[in-house]
Amino acid sequence: MSSPPPDLSELYQQVILDHNRNPRNFKRIESAKCKAEGNNPLCGDRIQLYVQLDDDTISDVGFQMPQGSGCAISKASASLMTEAVKGKRIGDAEEMFEAFRTMLAGGANAPGKLAAFSGVRAFPSRIKCANLAWHALHAALQGSAAPVTTESARDF
């Protein structure tokens, strides 16, 4: 008896679990010129994002979440986001954000591993968890000093 191949949703779940357990780029970047803070009071997720730019390229990116303040979805999403945008141009990163948002709003899957979050669509209350890091990235790139919060952003 051979076991059936894991279905896609299981594979996706593994990606999220892996990034939650071992978040990539989980670091503070003291010298970062672009920083942003994100808050999702509905779930209790809080993120501090650091973006280092080299001209219009994201040369380094890191994030921190105060102990116990990030759920699995928000942490895994932040980890995958940093992995996806590192080394990319600002415009490409913003396009990825758009693709990610479109996916969660019911559109086509975002490219690459970001598609792992397509399952979040079925849980509307968790969409803000998945989007949080991306909104923080957007705010950091815009040079916005005000913390982003899921309560004030109408199109979150």
Q: What is the contact surface with Zn ion in residues (CB under 5 A)?
A: 43, 45, 71, 74, 129
Indicate the residue among 47 and 93 with the shorter CB distance to Zn ion.
47
Nearer to Zn ion, 5 or 68 (CB): 68
Nearest to 101 by CA among 110, 113, 112: 110
- Nearest approach in angstroms of CB 154 to Zn ion is 19
Q: At closest approach, how far in Å is the CB of 70 from Zn ion?
A: 7
Helix-strand-coil split of the chain, %, nearest 5: 45, 20, 35
Among the listed residues 121, 114, 156, the one whose alpha carbon sits nearest the alpha carbon of residue 135: 156
Nearer to Zn ion, 104 or 129 (CB): 129
**34 vs 112: CA distance, rounded Å:** 26
Which of 96, 133, 140 lies closest to 19 in space, CA to CA? 133
Of the two residues 86 and 126, which places its CB atom closer to Zn ion in the complex? 126
Q: Quote the least distance from Cβ 141 to Zn ion, whole Å.
A: 22
State the nearest-atom distance from the C-beta of 71 to Zn ion, in Å. Answer: 3
Task: Please report the DSSP string for 108-120 in residue order.
Answer: SPPSGGGGGGGGG
